[in-house]
């Protein structure tokens, strides 16, 4: 199945807005750390509902581009804002539709690991970033967060399961300096008392604590050398 087939169906089912609600718990902290300025152009890779670009525009960036491989995602995202300084584009992580040295910052939440070749995507990000530009890469699916690994099962696309070191090494191989790496816990999701388990997707309270409070979102920040 292609990115388009998989994620157009998600968009049609309203899962774009569902992801926004859940991902916002930690994405907002990653976004708050981005050193954006008022004349910046920022790209959001795998934009889904487009919430990251809307939030950055509220912080006053000049232009936002939300890229997604699923046309229905991009179409929904366009409907959620009438901001003319924001553009939603259909495109693939393998060939980013931007000029060399043209973008101030790149953000991505819960999307990078779907890249068919994550090394190519990092090279593409390096190519489009201006010197000193940053890539804020946030993922919930990573090796140390072991209760996320089963997310691959229902998804036909192959997902890259790197650990923290592999993220750092791949960024460096692509020519990005690693400025920061951190995990951002989700302290907002409600975790019921132990006696209520099993619930929904969770066998035990410990598993849920491990996923949300211990690991949460892995943020790796790359900087394009000046
Ligand atoms: N960032 C959003 C959406 C995450 S879901 C959020 O936090 O809620 C992942 C998104 O990445 C989907 O919208 C999917 O269509 C997009 N995507 C996955 N692989 C892609 C690829 N190779 N190229 C472009 N977009 C891709």
Ligand 1 contact, 93 CB (< 6 A): yes
Model confidence at 1, pLDDT cuts 50, 70, 90, reads confident
Ligand 1 contact, 40 CB (< 6 A): no
Query: What pLDDT score does 219 carry?
Result: 99
Query: 160-181: string of b/e by CB count within 10 Å (b at 16+)?
Result: bbbeeeebbebbeebebeeeeb
Ligand 1 contact, 124 CB (< 6 A): no
Which atom in ligand 1 lies closest to the alpha carbon of residue 44?
Answer: 1
Fold for 3-188+217-223, please state it.
Answer: Rossmann fold (3.40.50)
Residues 32-64 have pLDDT tens digits of 999 999 999 999 999 999 999 999 999 999 999
Residues 178-197 have pLDDT tens digits of 999 999 999 999 999 999 99
Nearest CA to ligand 1 atom 7: 109
Distance between alpha carbon 207 and the CA centroid of its chain, in Å? 23
**What residue spans of the chain are helical by DSSP H?**
3-12, 15-33, 51-58, 71-79, 118-128, 164-173, 205-209
Which atom in ligand 1 lies closest to the alpha carbon of residue 11?
Answer: 13
**What is the C-alpha to C-alpha distance for residues 118 and 6, in angstroms, rounded to an integer?**
18
Q: Mean pLDDT for the chain?
A: 97
- For the cut 90, the answer to whether the pLDDT of residue 169 exceeds it is yes
How many other CB atoms are there within 10 angstroms of residue 214's CB atom? 13
**DSSP one-letter string for 157-200:** SPPP---HHHHHHHHHHTT-EEEEEEEE---SS----GGG-SBT
Partnered with residue 183 across adjacent β-strands are: 218
Region 143-161 average pLDDT: 96
Query: What pLDDT score does 201 carry?
Result: 87
Q: Answer yes or no: are the C-beta atoms of 23 and 86 closer than 8 Å.
A: no
Nearest CA to ligand 1 atom 20: 69
Which atom in ligand 1 lies closest to the alpha carbon of residue 7?
Answer: 15
């Amino acid at each position: 199945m292609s990115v388009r087939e998989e994620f157009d169906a998600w968009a049609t089912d309203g899962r774009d807005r569902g992801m926004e609600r859940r991902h916002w718990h930690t994405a907002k902290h990653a976004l708050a750390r981005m050193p954006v300025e008022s004349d910046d152009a920022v790209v959001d890779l795998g934009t889904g509902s487009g919430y990251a670009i809307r939030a950055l525009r509220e912080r006053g960036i000049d232009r936002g581009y939300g890229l997604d491989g699923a046309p229905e995602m991009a179409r929904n995202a366009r409907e959620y804002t009438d901001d003319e300084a924001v553009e939603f584009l259909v495109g693939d992580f393998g060939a980013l539709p931007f000029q060399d040295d043209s973008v101030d910052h790149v953000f991505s939440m819960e999307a990078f690991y779907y890249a068919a070749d994550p090394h190519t995507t990092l090279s593409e990000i390096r190519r489009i970033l201006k010197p000193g530009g940053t890539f804020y890469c946030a993922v919930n699916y990573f090796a140390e967060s072991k209760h996320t690994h089963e997310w691959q099962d229902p998804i036909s696309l192959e997902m890259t399961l790197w650990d923290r070191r592999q993220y750092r090494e791949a960024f460096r191989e692509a020519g990005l300096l690693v400025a920061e790496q951190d995990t951002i816990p989700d302290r907002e999701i409600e975790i019921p008392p132990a006696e209520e388990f099993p619930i929904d997707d969770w066998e035990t309270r410990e598993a849920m604590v491990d996923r949300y409070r211990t690991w949460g979102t892995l943020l790796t920040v790359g900087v394009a050398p000046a």
